[in-house]
Amino acid sequence: MSEFDAEAAIVWGGWDARYARVLDVQVEGDVAAALIDSNGDGADVNVDLYFRDSDGRWIPGASGNGSISMPGVLATWTDDDRLLLTRTDEAAE
């Protein structure tokens, strides 16, 4: 699975496809973010960040309830349940 889409967000994020619902996905080159409603009722929504490794696989980088940043990227959860994925100047060491 080389493209990052809603299915990839469920698989690579380890979510239970019977319950989890993907609200939004954003991809910027080798970085992706997904907004996941983990149980389908809107009560527990997570932002997940992923990075593509040298073999083309998506690797989970961070997950949490709210906007998430990692070196070089920021995923912002908006009020209308969308994601903004932004590259930053901060580089990974």
pLDDT score for 50: 94
- With cut-offs at 50, 70 and 90, classify the pLDDT of residue 1: very low
Please give the pLDDT value at position 20.
95
The pLDDT tens digits of the residues spanning 9-68 come to: 999 899 999 999 999 999 999 999 999 999 888 888 999 999 999 998 899 999 988 888
- Measured CA to CA, the distance from residue 14 to residue 8 in angstroms comes to 10
pLDDT of residue 65: 86
Query: Domain residues of the chain, as ranges?
Result: 6-87
CA distance 30 to 85: 12
DSSP 67: -
Burial of 21 (0-12, 13-18, 19+ CB in 10 A): middle
